[in-house]
Amino acid sequence: MTETWLKAQIEARDLTPSRLARKTGSSSGWMARLVRGAGHPSPMLCKKIARALDITEHEVLRQYGYLSDLPSDYEAAEEQRFIEARRQLPEVDRNLLDDFIDFLLWRDGGGGDD
């Protein structure tokens, strides 16, 4: 059986897949599939796994392909954080955020769409 990232994380914390399933509110069968590498968790489950394993959400989301690696410099990392946060907003809130940014750019003479 191939060692998966999740299996290594569980073993490093002296947990079992069943215990992790209980901590995340998932079924033992589904968690066993994830540990074997036979499943793909939702972003919400990734966040629950992060809390249960006491690691960052970014690390788990990155492992399952939801996020790219953090850029090496802080400014780029902050930009990435804002981009990812914006993606999680409902469309109406994304539109409000875009309008607010356009307003700030216009107010400060930085341009904008209009």
Q: Give me the mean pLDDT over the 42-66 stretch.
A: 91
The full DSSP string for 23-51 is: HHT--HHHHHHHHHT-----HHHHHHHHH
- At residue 112, the pLDDT reads 47
Give residue-wise pLDDT tens across range 4-17.
999 999 999 999 99
Residue 1 clears pLDDT 60, i.e. is over it: no
The full DSSP string for 54-94 is: TS-HHHHHHHTTSSPPPPSSHHHHHHHHHHHHHHHS-HHHH
- At residue 70, the pLDDT reads 58
Backbone angles phi and psi of 42, in degrees to 5: -70, 165
Q: Pick from 90, 113, 75: which is nearest to 104 by CA? A: 113
Residue 114 clears pLDDT 80, i.e. is over it: no
Q: Is the domain defined by 5-63 classed in CATH 1.20.1560.10?
A: no
Q: What is the pTM of this model?
A: 0.59
The C-alpha atoms of residue 78 and residue 85 are separated, in whole angstroms, by 10
The C-alpha atoms of residue 98 and residue 114 are separated, in whole angstroms, by 13
The amino acid at residue 51 is: R
